[in-house]
Amino acid sequence: MIDTDHGRNGLIGSFHMLHDNEELLAKVIDFFPYPLQVYAPDGTSVLVNKALLDEYHVDSPERVIGKYNVLTDPAVIATGKYDLLLRAFKGETVYGYDIRVPIEDIKKKYGVHDLDIIAAYQDITVFPILDDQQRVKYVVALMIDRRVYRGKEEIEKAREYIESHWQEPFSISETAKAACLSRAHFSRLFRKHTGMTPYEYYINCKIDKLKEKLLDANLSVKQAFAQCNMDYNGHSARIFRQKVGLSPSAYRKAVQGKG
């Protein structure tokens, strides 16, 4: 995974070094293991790589190149990140985190019938490649999957809902509603397919997020809990220890020691 600013910046620098050799740049992009799409300054797609076509089961690059314009795509505009995207076309590198992919729109637009993805969220880096006059020559979008949901649709919708609302108090009614099932039927079905109750899954999500926050040395343990909308007390610390096998403080020390 390319999950640090340093890693992304190094990658972007490598693409900039190739801007004078368009044939080599095209080969690098095509063989790159993560989905990439390259746009002209007006937003029209000029290149897509194999990883992107494979991810969404699009059968040919000709279905995208010259026909898709990211700046006029209603699904892109609806993300609420359109102003961020425009900044990239003006010469700035921008980052979007946990962006929901318009799967249904992709299926309809490209006639895809065998895509088993129910929902997906990506971290998207959009950066310009400039010419010698510092004008935008191309804009590249790099997409890294953060969350992908496959399987039984009702369960995947529930997982998506829980993982998108982990900071909120748990509601079995709202989670069942997201799965379009009654509460009783939903709870049974969720446990059958995941091996745990919806509430257990919710707690596991919160603990995973808390473990991430505890890696931030700028936060106290109490502040890490607060950022996960949790009170730091004996009860919450006990839950953490049950799930992780260490107290929050011991976990932080153990992880920092490995670094």
End-to-end alpha-carbon separation of the chain, Å? 18
pLDDT at 3: 45
Q: In a 10 Å sphere around its CB, with 0-12 CB exposed, 13-18 middle and 19+ buried, how is residue 237 labelled?
A: middle
Q: Tell me how far the alpha carbon of residue 111 is from its chain's centroid.
A: 24
Asked, colleague to colleague, whether 5-150 and 153-254 share their fold, the answer is no
C-alpha span between 216 and 246 (Å, rounded): 17
Neighbouring C-beta atoms of residue 24, cutoff 10 Å: 11
In tens, the pLDDT along 230-257 reads 999 999 999 999 999 999 999 999 988 7
Query: 3.40.50.300, 3.30.70.1880, 1.10.10.60, 3.90.1150.10: which CATH number matches 153-254?
Result: 1.10.10.60
DSSP 8-state secondary structure symbol assigned to residue 44 = B
In tens, the pLDDT along 190-207 reads 999 999 999 999 999 999
Please state the domain extents for the chain: 5-150, 153-254
How crowded is the C-beta side of 40, counted as CA atoms within 13 Å?
Answer: 9
In tens, the pLDDT along 147-184 reads 999 888 999 999 999 999 999 999 999 999 999 999 99
CATH of domain 5-150: 3.30.450.20
In tens, the pLDDT along 61-110 reads 999 999 999 999 999 999 889 999 999 999 999 999 999 999 999 998 88
Kindly state the percentage of the chain with pLDDT values over 90: 73
**pTM metric for this prediction:** 0.68
C-alpha span between 147 and 243 (Å, rounded): 22
State the helix-helix crossing angle for 198-214 and 153-164, rounded to 10 degrees. Answer: 40
Mean pLDDT score of the chain: 89
